[in-house]
Amino acid sequence: MDVDGADAAEPERSGGPPADQLARLLDRADNGAAAARELAAVRSALMHHCGLQSCRHTKGPPRRMNRRTFRHSFLLPDGGVRVVWELEHDTGPDAAPHRSVFTEQEELTLAEWEVDTAFGGSTGPREMPYGVADGLPRQQAGKGEQDTLPAAGPENALRRAYAEGDSAEHARRLLRRAANAGAPGGEVGTRLCSAIAHDINIVTRRSTQVAGRLVSWSLYEHAFLLLDGSELSLWEIDHTRTPSGDPVCEVYASQDAALDTAIRRIEAG
């Protein structure tokens, strides 16, 4: 599924000598001057690679916002690799892009949590505390909470710009291609027959190495406006954690359940 935001680094983050890449990285970062002292040895790097590690996007409310995390890897003369993370977002009151550089995974994770509070939802450290074992946030919600359907009511209705279309058919196709045995159905499918408009929004995407193979996943929210004015969302995980590496689709009734699947199963080593 194509969405706004590239899966790879833009030209400003790729190409050119490693020393120049480091200089541009530090120059555009708000904390670049402080980080430069810690990264002095990286100026002698032989190679540089940058890739998009994770991202979040929202169309609103209150406005369109973006957060992206880039992973910069520098190959040093002694054969070691120095990893530097770049966090870019426009969630501040001024809506301007801000960038920060991090050399520690723990500091990056905390900074992402702070930025992601602007998106709302259960993304804070209380729900997803830092996973010491593998550097990944861990979902702590109980199974009963994960399996709860999103509330549908006037307080959730019309919270976004919906596009009219064959929304009931879109819901039917989404549920039909779900590969997971626990995909929503029954009552949910019946309610979606009355969908009159829908909106698709990417929530986050990640890529990671699992057993020596690159695995990627993306989380989408499919929000449906129903005939009675209420709203119902389904959460789609597209991932490549399959024996063949081919992408598959899984659908869940809640965001927590979808994230739990992505982090605990798809990214599990």
| Tens digit of each residue's pLDDT (9 = 90 or more) over 1-38 | 333 333 345 667 777 889 999 999 999 999 999 999 99
Task: Give the total residue count for the chain.
Answer: 269
pLDDT in tens, 190-208: 999 989 888 888 888 887 7
Nearest to 18 by CA among 82, 105, 100: 82
What global pTM score does this model have? 0.49
User: pLDDT (tens digit, 9 = 90+) per residue, 100-120?
Assistant: 999 988 888 888 888 888 886
pLDDT in tens, 143-185: 333 332 333 333 333 346 677 678 899 999 999 999 998 899 8
Lowest mean pLDDT among 123-132, 202-211, 243-252: 123-132
Residue 222 phi/psi, 5-degree rounding, is: -105, 105
- With a cut of 90, say whether residue 99 has pLDDT above it: yes
Find the angle CA(233)-CA(235)-CA(238) to the nearest 5 degrees.
Answer: 150
* Closest listed residue to residue 86, CA positions, set 38, 21, 25, 15: 25
What percentage of the chain reaches a pLDDT higher than 90? 29
In degrees, to the nearest 5, what angle opens at C-alpha 22 toward C-alphas 16 and 28?
A: 105
